[in-house]
């Protein structure tokens, strides 16, 4: 099983998204280059040997970062660059990001800034990173005041997806990835949403054929959007469905109460309720969304007050001086960018 999805960005830089049941990095990408691998201890223990077998036992340098969103920080970013310098990395060196979204986002940001840019390969090991964060070239670190506030658009040379890594994900992390899958269906592709509704059992049992199909479907959706709008000038923003509220939920929980997928799940429900008020999204559509998320063992409610949510969205990256833009859905499979004046007050929005 191997699927190949080409992605050409608006800057005419092409790379492949390869989906297989093994690590598959072309030898031509590795020849004559020093390899620097960033991962975390848990992922490396599970998958390090298998990756090394694929890179043909080529000598490599390894940096194991701490595991968790709170470590996607300026402190870690600086530490990895200092490590690269100490180990003799240069502009021809190659970075490999082996891990989930935190490892991928951070390694990509390091690659974009070290010596003003070196090549890197995304090797995502979680469902969330395979369907979303590894594709499209967004890199970032968090600040105490907000998530992904410092970053770049910097495309990898390859996204190498090994679906067998999903077999070792704990249930909570697996469910987090399903939240991003649901996002693609509810906001961008009604056929995908219906497919998910009809295959809940196979998905929860982690059927390899089903998962490969879903991952490819999501990657194709995202690659088509990124190819049209690499740097989020307009269309690409629809990929943020559920994220405006979701980022507030993550931040208020100090990135510990909810992981990214759980926060996005709640954020999608809040966005759907808002769409009911301003875009006449049928309440039945929101109920279908809630039902599917709950079947995937994801949360759909928050204990945060309305005032906390209102204040939080104002500091979102998508806010301007006087407006905040939400991604809302007038129907399943359709998303539109909807601006609101600041200060945002949910209770003042009438049907």
Q: What percent of the chain has pLDDT over 90?
A: 73
For the cut 50, the answer to whether the pLDDT of residue 335 exceeds it is yes
Q: What percent of the chain has pLDDT over 70?
A: 94
* pLDDT for position 55: 78
* pLDDT for position 350: 43
For the cut 60, the answer to whether the pLDDT of residue 1 exceeds it is no
pLDDT in tens, 263-272: 999 999 999 9
Asked whether the whole model's pTM tops 0.75, one would answer yes
For the cut 70, the answer to whether the pLDDT of residue 351 exceeds it is no
Q: Where are the domains of the chain?
A: 2-168, 171-348
pLDDT in tens, 123-151: 999 999 999 999 989 999 999 888 889 99
* pLDDT for position 111: 98
* For range 208-226, the mean pLDDT: 93
Q: Which of 135-139, 194-198, 238-242, 286-290 comes out lowest in average pLDDT?
A: 135-139
Catalytic residues: 116, 138, 180, 222, 232, 236, 240, 243, 247, 260
* pLDDT for position 206: 97
* pLDDT for position 3: 65
For the cut 60, the answer to whether the pLDDT of residue 26 exceeds it is yes
For the cut 90, the answer to whether the pLDDT of residue 154 exceeds it is yes
Q: Average pLDDT, whole number, for the chain?
A: 91
Domain 171-348 class, CATH top level: mainly alpha
User: Which residues are CB-neighbours of 168 under 8 A, at least 6 positions away?
Assistant: 46, 47
Q: 32: left (phi > 0), else alpha (psi -120 to 50), else beta?
A: left
* pLDDT for position 8: 67
User: Which residues are CB-neighbours of 255 under 8 A, at least 6 positions away?
Assistant: 68, 69, 70, 142, 147
* pLDDT for position 24: 86
pLDDT in tens, 283-321: 999 999 999 999 999 999 999 998 899 888 877 766 666
DSSP state for residue 344 in the 8-state scheme: P
Alpha helices in the chain (DSSP H): 27-30, 41-54, 74-86, 101-113, 127-128, 171-188, 190-198, 200-204, 208-228, 243-252, 260-278, 283-295, 306-313
CATH code: domain 2-168 is 3.40.50.1970
What whole-number distance in Å separates Cα of residue 148 and Cα of residue 264? 15
| Cβ proximity of 122 and 100 under 8 Å | no
pLDDT in tens, 36-66: 999 999 999 999 999 998 876 678 999 999 9
User: Which residues are CB-neighbours of 92 under 8 A, at least 6 positions away?
Assistant: 32, 33, 34, 118
* For range 336-346, the mean pLDDT: 84
């Amino acid at each position: 099983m191997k699927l190949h999805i080409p992605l050409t960005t608006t800057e005419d830089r092409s790379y492949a998204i390869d989906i297989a049941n093994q690590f598959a990095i072309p030898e031509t990408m590795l020849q004559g280059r020093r390899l620097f691998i960033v991962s975390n201890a848990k992922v490396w223990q599970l998958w390090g040997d298998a990756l090394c077998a694929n890179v043909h036992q080529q000598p490599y340098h390894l940096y194991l970062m701490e595991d968790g969103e709170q470590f996607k920080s300026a402190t870690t970013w600086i530490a990895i660059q200092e490590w690269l310098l100490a180990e003799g990395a240069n502009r021809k060196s190659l970075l490999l990001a082996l891990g989930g979204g935190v490892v991928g986002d951070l390694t990509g940001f390091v690659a974009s800034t070290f010596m003003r840019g070196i090549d890197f390969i995304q090797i995502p090991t979680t469902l969330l990173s395979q369907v979303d964060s590894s594709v499209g070239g967004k890199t970032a670190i968090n600040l105490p005041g907000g998530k992904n506030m410092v970053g770049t658009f910097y495309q990898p040379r390859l996204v190498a997806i090994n679906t067998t890594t999903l077999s070792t994900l704990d249930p909570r992390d697996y469910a987090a990835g399903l939240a991003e899958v649901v996002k693609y269906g509810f906001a961008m592709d009604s056929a995908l949403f219906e497919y998910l509704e009809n295959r809940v059992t196979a998905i929860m049992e982690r059927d390899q054929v089903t998962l490969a199909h879903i991952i490819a479907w999501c990657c194709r959706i995202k690659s088509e959007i990124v190819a049209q709008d690499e740097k989020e000038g307009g269309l690409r923003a629809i990929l943020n469905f559920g994220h405006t509220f979701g980022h507030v939920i993550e931040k208020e929980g100090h990135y510990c109460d909810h992981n990214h997928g759980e926060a996005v799940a709640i954020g999608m429900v809040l966005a759907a309720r808002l769409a009911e008020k301003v875009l006449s999204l049928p309440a039945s559509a929101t109920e279908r969304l809630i039902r599917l998320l709950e079947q995937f063992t994801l949360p759909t409610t928050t204990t945060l007050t309305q005032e906390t949510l209102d204040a939080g969205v104002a500091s979102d990256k998508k806010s301007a001086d006087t407006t905040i833009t939400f991604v809302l859905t007038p129907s399943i499979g359709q998303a539109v960018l909807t601006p609101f004046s600041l200060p945002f007050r949910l209770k003042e929005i009438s049907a």
